[in-house]
Amino acid sequence: MIKHGSSKNRIALVISLFIAIYATIFMRLVHYGMVESPEKQFISQQASFSRPVILDRNGKILAMDITAFSLYAEPRRITDIDEVAEKVNRIIPQLSLKTLYGKLSSSSGFVWLARQLTPAVKNQLMLAGIPGIGFRPELKRIYPAGRTTAHIIGLTNVDNAGVAGLEKWIDGQGIDDIRHVGLANAESLAPVITSIDLRVQHALHYELSKALVEYGAAGVGGVILNIKSGEIIALASLPDFDPQFPTEAQLPDRLNRITASASEMGSIIKTFTTAMAIEYAGADLTTIYDATNPIKVGNQLVRDFFGKKRPLTLEEVFLYSSNIGSAHEALSVGVEAHRKFLVETGLLNRIHLELPEIAKPMEPRHWTPPTSITAAFGHGFATTPLQTAVGIGGILNKGILVAPTLLKRSHSHTDLQARRIVDEKASAILRHLYRLSAVKGSGRRANIAGLRVGGKTGTAEKVIDGRYAKNRNFNVFAAAMPMDDPTYVYLIVVDDPAPKSERRGQTAGLTAAPLAGEIIRKTFSFLNLTPQFEGQNI
């Protein structure tokens, strides 16, 4: 006799088994629907490849996602490989028959044939009625400004992952974590608003493109920096690349010369040497330095290019760009203090910026008096043009250095990024000297009427096969304006312009300075600067 309780238990067990069976069937159906359908599988993944829109400071699009279509095949469903390969090859000739045969003969259930096709090619393939192939929608990154912003924005790979520039930096800011939980889609990602003004960027890029050809240079570059906020308004380096063609970016001469290359900067470093003498040694405009005779350093003599062969005031040392006078300024401070000042003004540390392509400065392992003497006029250590511009900006900005950024910055954030590097006295003297150099010195070709431009040139001989080459130069010019209270610093680089002769290279005063002047003419109105023609004195 079966007990009533046992019967109930059996019924409950049978019901539980049916529930388990149907649950298993349901889960398998869900699994097949989600995993085995290529279209559904991709739709679930599509959001994980979304990227935020990148904008300039005025809302102009610099990078965005669009939907593209990629071609795939399911080899197991193809009965006539020859027919499919020949039809696809006729429409996409760059896919060779050999490649197609190899992929279509695979035992795999899914193979990619071509990524990110144009709508026209996709339509041709659809009209051909080719069996065993299909299309998957995926995201493609486009760059409306193209080469103009290439070294800032960078680029992505075929899977829409950042591989250079801001695109790579964005991926390091937590987007990968968001992708893994499926929340990274176009609607959930806030736009990245950069500090770049696309109008200024276009003008900078255009003038640099002309100069690259005109000077027969190995490369040119420039950065325009708001020294009050630290915002980079424009940055370009040529030769550059088209971000839609990633292989071009890998060529060795396409590096970003403004941030990713450290060089000896030449006499532009006298900005720092002079400020250091004022700050650390109490010098002023009338302090005398004896530039009568060359200084012996090892087997070499430190000479002046256009020597006056007499004692010079600090003002004259800067105006005539005296190597001898600058060496004496450095000696008045001492080796340890000299290096300390260069560290504090940011020349010897790797700079922080929203770009992965940042070079580390190079300096001697041990600093000695000869090291200090040559460093005084920009030889013997290497730094990047960007950190040179930032340091100069800090000196001229009443002594306040604001850390640079490629992102649009609020006033409150600016205050957090600011620090004093020299006092206001040193800053006022350097502003006077910069203006003097633009009016009477080597920066004359960048002096624009009404804008009160100041500037300093730097011409460094390049090291070729371990030796300084007399006719191969790295030219730099830094301009600031308006010099009463500067807001903007322009730093322009002309790398290895065609030599004037076998014995002499072109100097910064003949290349980088006039180039800077032309860029200032084309951009100052976008920066809300109005020429003032009254009282045009130094």
So which residues are the catalytic ones? Answer: 267
What is the rounded CA–CA span in Å between residue 349 and residue 278?
23
Whether 108 and 75 have beta carbons less than 8 Å apart is answered as yes
Whole-angstrom Cα distance, residue 152 to residue 62? 10
SS3 363: coil
Residue 172's alpha-carbon distances to 162, 177, 179, 480, in angstroms, are: 9, 10, 12, 34
Q: Which amino acid is at 232?
A: I
* Contact call for residues 219 and 497 (beta carbons, < 8 A): no
Pairwise CA distance, residues 430 & 268, whole Å: 12
Q: Which DSSP string corresponds to 54-121? A: EE-TTS-EEEEEEEEEEEEE-GGG-S-HHHHHHHHHHH-TTS-HHHHHHHHT-SSS-EEEEEEE-HHH
Q: How far apart are CA 196 and CA 258, in angstroms?
A: 15
Question: Between β-strands 467-481 and 454-464, what pairing exists: parallel, antiparallel or unpaired?
Answer: antiparallel
DSSP 115-156: EEE-HHHHHHHHHHT-TTEEEEEEEEEE-TTGGGGHHHH-EE
Place of tokens 């260069």: 342
Backbone angles phi, psi at 275, to 5 degrees: -60, -40
Q: What is the DSSP annotation of 481-528?
A: E-TTS--EEEEEEEESPPPSSSS-PPPGGGTHHHHHHHHHHHHGGGGT
Cβ contacts of 534 within 8 Å, gap of 6 or more: none
Q: How many whole angstroms separate alpha carbon 121 and alpha carbon 136?
A: 14
- Torsion, CA 400, CA 401, CA 402, CA 404, rounded to 10: 160
Please give the helix or strand (H or E) that residue 323 lies within, else none: helix 323-333
Rounded CA-CA distance 229/488 in Å is 10
Handedness of CA 401, 403, 404, 407 (dihedral sign): negative
- 123 vs 113, 119, 134, 341, CA distance in Å? 16, 6, 12, 64
Relative to beta strand 400-402, strand 418-420 is: antiparallel
Q: Do residues 117 and 104 make contact, with C-beta atoms less than 8 angstroms apart?
A: no
Task: Give alpha helix (H) positions in 240-322.
Answer: 246-249, 270-281, 314-319
